Amino acid sequence: MRLMTETKPLTDDDRWRIALDKDRRFDGVFVTGVHSTGIYCRPSCPARAPKRENVRFYSDCGAAEAAGLRACKRCAPDQQSREEGAVVAALKVLREAEETVSLESLGHLTDYSPTHFQRIFTRAVGLSPAAYQRALRRERAEEVLGEGGSVTGAIYDAGYGAPSRFYEDRKDSGMSASDWKDGGKGRTVHWAVIETTLGEMLVAATEKGVCCLSFNEGEKELRARFPKAELVEGGAEFRALFE
């Protein structure tokens, strides 16, 4: 699964790639300043991409405005609902956390009750905070497996305290660790791209369960992840499972 799982500090090259991809996952994480026009935008701004030499990146709206830039009227980076801000703040904390973050802690962070925040987060992301954190751990493990690492190494590199926790997390996954390492060999993967409140999301599943949830990706990226699997685009019935 690939859901806003960047854990390393972003470089300007990363930010430029994100801006070119118009990746909604990073709205609120930084803003893009275009000095030729004097405006700053969300990473997901639908406007035509500027020239790289005219672009500077800023941590937030305040930093961009201190540099003499004004907010883009099209993507309105300076306007954010309280709920959107809460989800963005929580996602940032979860991406950077080395240990599990409790729902109570997220509620305290965002000034919502834990129950209400879980509803907000789940509606925006499509997963509960607990499920999202499990997805992060699986993502880290799968990256190691995809690079040819051992299953044991992947388990501990991803932050699992014991192999049993890793296998418990994967019991509902559509790909076993060995399947993932083998590029999905012998598996049939049904997929579709659906609309969510955070943008388009790729969903893919085998007969065993969901094996990929990924924002701003499509068949090309899925094929790179599972080069030996048979990919079948899902129809209306498959899409209805996720919408």
CATH number at residue 203: 3.30.160.70
Bridge partners of 212, per DSSP, are: 204
* Same domain membership, residue 110 and residue 86: yes
Q: What is the secondary structure of 96-111 as a DSSP string?
A: H-SSPPPHHHHHHHHT
Catalytic residue (one of 45, 61, 211, 212): 45
DSSP 8-state secondary structure symbol assigned to residue 27: B
In this structure, the answer to whether residues 186 and 241 fall within a common structural domain is yes
Say if residue 119 is in the same domain as residue 136: no
Q: Is residue 136 part of a domain?
A: yes
Phi, psi of 85 (to 5 degrees): -60, -40
- Identify the domain containing residue 217 by its residue range: 174-243
Catalytic-role residue among 41, 61, 211, 212: 41
The answer to whether position 52 is within a domain reads yes
- CATH number assigned to the domain comprising residue 40: 3.40.10.10
Catalytic-role residue among 61, 75, 211, 212: 75
pLDDT by residue for the chain (243 residues), tens only, comes to 334 444 457 899 999 999 999 887 788 789 999 999 999 999 989 999 999 999 999 998 999 999 999 999 998 888 876 787 888 889 889 888 878 899 999 999 999 999 999 998 987 777 889 888 877 777 766 666 666 556 565 555 555 555 555 555 655 567 777 787 788 889 999 999 887 655 677 888 888 777 777 777 889 988 988 899 999 998 888 877 766
Residues near 82 by Cβ (< 8 Å), separated by ≥ 6?
none
Q: Is residue 3 part of a domain?
A: no
User: How would you class 31 by CB atoms within 10 Å of its CB: exposed for 0-12, middle for 13-18, buried for 19 or more?
Assistant: buried
- The answer to whether 139 and 3 have CB atoms below 8 angstroms apart is yes
Residues 92 and 118 in one domain: yes
List the CATH number of the domain containing 90: 1.10.10.60
Q: Which two tokens stand for residue 44?
A: 């997901």
Note if 41 is an active site residue: yes
Is there a single domain that holds both residue 45 and residue 107? no
Among 61, 72, 211, 212, the one annotated catalytic? 72
Token reading at 201: 């999301």
Within 7-113, residue ranges assigned H as helices are: 12-21, 61-66, 82-96, 103-110
Residues 118 and 86 in one domain: yes
Number of domains, the chain: 4
Q: E-assigned strands of the chain?
A: 31-34, 39-41, 55-58, 70-71, 188-196, 199-206, 209-215, 230-233
* The pLDDT value given to residue 7: 44
The verdict on 139 and 125 lying in the same domain is no
Task: For residue 202, tell me if it sits in a domain.
Answer: yes
Distance CA 214, CA 196 (A): 11
What residue has token string 């991803």?
Answer: 158
Domain assignment present for residue 140? The answer is yes
61 is catalytic: no
Name the nearest CA neighbour of 32 among 75, 96, 2, 3.
75
Give the per-residue pLDDT at 184. Answer: 87
Residue 72 annotated among the catalytic residues of the structure: yes
Active site residue 75: yes
How far are the Cα atoms of 6, 43, 52, 152, 230 from residue 14, in angstroms, in the given order? 10, 11, 13, 30, 31
How high is the pLDDT of residue 4? 43
Is 194 contained in some domain? yes
Q: Do 124 and 97 fall within a single domain?
A: yes
Residues forming beta bridges with residue 35, ordered by sequence position: none
Q: Is 34 a member of any domain?
A: yes
